[in-house]
């Protein structure tokens, strides 16, 4: 009986003691965005970093009608320097009375200076992949200029810069057709397979601009260049179904705007001659003329046919330029031709894979043929003024 009583008391003590390592929610500092820059004057061989973490201040988010913080700032940015991201995060922990909590980290921003140093970006990303407190769904972007400036930017419509950028990325990819955001888990796959890829490239001035792409070479393991807005449009039309994309083009010295409601694309590869692999890109675009600046009757069938041809030529020119830059200047197969070879022509892929983006560089020897067909099925605007 005595032993049973002792056992019961011990058991009760354990059950009532609770979790010894629990942290109250009010003591947590919720980190929602991180930015990594190079320290000024750093050596590329032994780079030193500046890491900025954006921490939420709940009182600044709460509406004044609910007893909240009114004009109080909704976030704080903490910056520290060092050669190790893990060590820097430890130092940042000492700058706040809150315990940093990274499970809600939504955004990781890498400056282009960091991204251009060989092997550095993949090593930094490994820190975020291995940390059990961080999720693989963190969106990753590259900044033109200092990454910290994006976290410092205060938008008018949102209180939290990191959340504003996160929503901007989602909105832009769904509604405007810009590059779909890439996540930590996706990029890890690219690094493991040593394949080339594109990340969104953002810049900030009066507003945050999201119209360019940062090109990463898989084998070189670094950022090797950029696609501008026109080149990104060519890339998107070639690679993805562009919904609600807008194309500006010129016809008879007048500016027209086409809204793309649907596009279909097909890329086929003929590897019969590995020294000159032939790639055919077929694109079909359906759209509506939304705006025109000229006295042209776009409802006239012959005029409409000529306008459709003008759209096709504009899209083809954009894609041709993008392909040429990807091949000749950057040497990075961001178009995924390697994947078509691997899945549909594996015997050929085994022969060329070790020299696809290096050595014999079969990717640069490949030839592209781009065919574009445009159907304008509705005239949203017309000008018949004499």
Q: What is the pLDDT of residues 336-364, one digit of tens each?
A: 999 999 999 999 999 999 999 999 999 99
For the ranges 87-101, 159-173, 232-246, the maximum mean pLDDT occurs at 159-173
CATH 3.30.300.210 residue window(s) in the chain: 228-386
Residue with tokens 């009608």: 65
> Region 156-165: what's the mean pLDDT?
86
**pLDDT (0 to 100) of residue 2:** 55
> Region 110-137: what's the mean pLDDT?
87
**pLDDT (0 to 100) of residue 120:** 93
pLDDT tens readout for residues 8-28: 455 445 444 544 444 554 556
**pLDDT (0 to 100) of residue 255:** 85
Closest residue by Cα to residue 349 from 193, 151, 232, 228? 193
Contact 353, 218 (CB under 8 A): no
For the ranges 80-94, 218-232, 280-294, the maximum mean pLDDT occurs at 218-232
Longest dimension (CA), the chain: 108
pLDDT higher at 297 or 261: 261
What distance, in Å, lies between the first and last C-alpha atoms of the chain? 108
Q: Tell me the pLDDT band of 177, cut-offs 50, 70 and 90.
A: low
**pLDDT (0 to 100) of residue 242:** 52
What does the block give as tokens for 337? 């031709």
User: What is the average pLDDT score of the chain?
Assistant: 83
Rounded percentage of the chain residues whose pLDDT exceeds 90:
46
CATH annotation of 228-386: 3.30.300.210
């Amino acid at each position: 009986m005595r032993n049973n009583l002792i056992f019961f008391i011990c058991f009760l003590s354990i059950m009532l003691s609770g979790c010894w390592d629990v942290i109250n929610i009010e003591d947590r500092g919720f980190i929602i965005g991180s930015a990594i820059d190079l320290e000024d004057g750093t050596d590329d061989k032994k780079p030193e970093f500046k890491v900025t973490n954006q921490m939420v201040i709940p009182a600044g988010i709460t509406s004044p009608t609910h007893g909240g913080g009114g004009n109080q700032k909704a976030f704080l940015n903490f910056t520290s320097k060092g050669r190790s991201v893990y060590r820097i995060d430890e130092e940042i922990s000492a700058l706040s009375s809150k315990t940093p909590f990274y499970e809600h980290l939504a955004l990781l921003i890498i400056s282009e200076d960091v991204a251009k140093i060989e092997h550095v970006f993949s090593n930094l990303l490994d820190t975020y992949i291995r940390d059990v407190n961080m999720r693989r769904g963190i969106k990753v972007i590259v900044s033109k200029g200092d990454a910290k400036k994006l976290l410092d930017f205060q938008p008018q419509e949102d209180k939290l810069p990191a959340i504003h950028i996160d929503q901007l990325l989602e909105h832009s990819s769904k509604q405007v057709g810009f590059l779909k955001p890439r996540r930590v888990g996706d990029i890890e796959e690219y690094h493991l397979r040593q394949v080339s890829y594109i990340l969104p490239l953002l810049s900030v001035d009066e507003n945050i601009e999201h119209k360019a792409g940062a090109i990463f070479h898989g084998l070189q393991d670094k950022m090797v260049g950029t696609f501008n807005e026109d080149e990104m449009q060519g890339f998107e039309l070639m690679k993805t179904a562009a919904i609600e994309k807008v194309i500006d083009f010129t016809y008879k010295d007048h500016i027209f705007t086409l809204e793309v409601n649907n596009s279909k694309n097909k890329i086929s590869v003929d590897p019969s001659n590995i020294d000159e692999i032939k790639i055919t890109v077929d694109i079909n675009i359906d759209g509506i003329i939304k705006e025109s600046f000229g006295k042209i009757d776009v409802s006239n069938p012959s005029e409409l046919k000529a306008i459709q041809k003008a759209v096709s030529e504009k899209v083809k020119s954009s894609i041709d330029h993008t392909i040429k830059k990807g091949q000749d200047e950057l040497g990075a197969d961001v178009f995924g031709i390697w994947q078509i070879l691997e899945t549909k022509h594996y015997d050929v892929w085994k022969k060329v894979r070790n020299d696809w983006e290096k050595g014999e560089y079969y990717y640069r020897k490949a030839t592209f043929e781009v065919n574009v067909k445009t159907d304008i099925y509705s005239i949203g605007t017309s000008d018949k003024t004499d």
